[in-house]
Amino acid sequence: MNNEVLVVGSVAFDSVENANGSVQRVLGGAASYASICASYFANPRVVAVVGTDFSEQDRAPFLKRGVNLEGLEVREGKTFHWGGSYDKDFNTAVTRFTDLNVFQNFNPVLSEAQKNAKAVFLANINPELQLSVLDQVKNPSLVACDTMNYWISSKKEALLEVVKRIDVFFLNESEARQLTGEYNLIKAGRKLMDQGVKYVVIKLGSNGAMLVSQEGLAQLPPYILEHVHDTTGAGDTFGGGFTGYLASLKKWNSLNAIKRAMMIGNVMASFTIESFSVDRLADLTQPDIDKRLKEYTSMLKF
């Protein structure tokens, strides 16, 4: 069965500081978190660009998880490097530096195999590049897309073009408000549905996620974690788990499947935030995941 998920986005180095400590130049990037997470449910292929400083060791977490790296282009120069720090709330990162390096000229050109993926996850990149990917893929069953405030400010028109052509749109509360001008998240979601997207998934950080769709509304809590280590990549993990899970289904477009995908996104994100980088996420067993899914459904049983 074709359970392939094309993940297009950044593979990067992160340098992060928070109340629990700091790390320098560890594996990061939306496509890293999303593809490694998706690997527990489907067969991800990454399309991204790194520099010549990206080592075998940096590839190891992908390879361990069976992520296909044929689309990981290596260019002369340095890998995208992001530096940020978090306040005690862990929810909002303050960017210290963004060295785009080789990522500045990222221009995804897909191979035949990549074009035929069953599902596509357009991680947070320039919406013009997201459109280029959509022009290349061959009728995928599912297209999900993430974005960020920067693109809403600078490339709103292109982003709204993207929104017309996707099935699932992930964004956080402030992005939903910024993009639609609606404070109420349900109204914001409906405005985005008017633009053409079927399922609007609003990520609520430590409060889980909300769904706005024709089939219905839903708000699901997070998997509760007592100790948060680092929230970097949690949203990307959510998107990757969500998309990977749906890619594993014969029929993904039902309210129940979408709610299960949200549950999986929430549970998988709980692993990411237990460590810096993908250390915990790339090292899970099926029982680890099953245990938390069971605890999650049990929490919501009355």
With a CB cutoff of 8 Å and minimum separation 6, the contacts of 263 are 220, 293, 296, 297
How far apart CA 285 and CA 230 sit, in angstroms, is 21
> How far apart are CB 294 and a copy of itself at their closest, in Å?
11
Nearer to a copy of itself by Cβ, of 25 and 259: the residue is 259
Query: HSE (CB half, 13 Å, CA atoms) of 185?
Result: 18
> How far apart are CB 226 and a copy of itself at their closest, in Å?
5
Nearer to a copy of itself by Cβ, of 21 and 66: the residue is 21
Nearer to a copy of itself by Cβ, of 120 and 249: the residue is 249
> How far apart are CB 246 and a copy of itself at their closest, in Å?
14
Which one, of 146, 26, 148, lies nearest residue 84 by Cα?
26
Nearer to a copy of itself by Cβ, of 151 and 242: the residue is 242
> How far apart are CB 35 and a copy of itself at their closest, in Å?
25
The two tokens of residue 80 are: 């995208």
> How far apart are CB 292 and a copy of itself at their closest, in Å?
13
**Interface ranges with a copy of itself (CB under 8 A):** 88-89, 183-184, 186-187, 204, 207-208, 210, 216-222, 224, 226, 228, 256, 259-260, 263, 297, 299-302
Nearer to a copy of itself by Cβ, of 70 and 290: the residue is 290
> How far apart are CB 194 and a copy of itself at their closest, in Å?
15
With a CB cutoff of 8 Å and minimum separation 6, the contacts of 282 are 36, 61, 64, 65
- 205, 228 in Cβ contact below 8 A? no
Total Cβ atoms within 10 A of residue 164: 11
How far apart CA 269 and CA 11 sit, in angstroms, is 18
> How far apart are CB 156 and a copy of itself at their closest, in Å?
22
> How far apart are CB 263 and a copy of itself at their closest, in Å?
6
Total Cβ atoms within 10 A of residue 226: 4
With a CB cutoff of 8 Å and minimum separation 6, the contacts of 37 are 236, 237, 240, 241, 244, 268, 272, 281
Nearer to a copy of itself by Cβ, of 58 and 182: the residue is 182
Residue labelled with tokens 């099926």: 286
Buried b (16+ CB within 10 A) or exposed e, 18-28: beeeebeebbb
Question: DSSP secondary structure string, 32-69?
Answer: HHHHHHHTTTSEEEEEEEEETT--HHHHHHHHHTT-EE
Nearer to a copy of itself by Cβ, of 17 and 53: the residue is 17
Nearer to a copy of itself by Cβ, of 21 and 216: the residue is 216
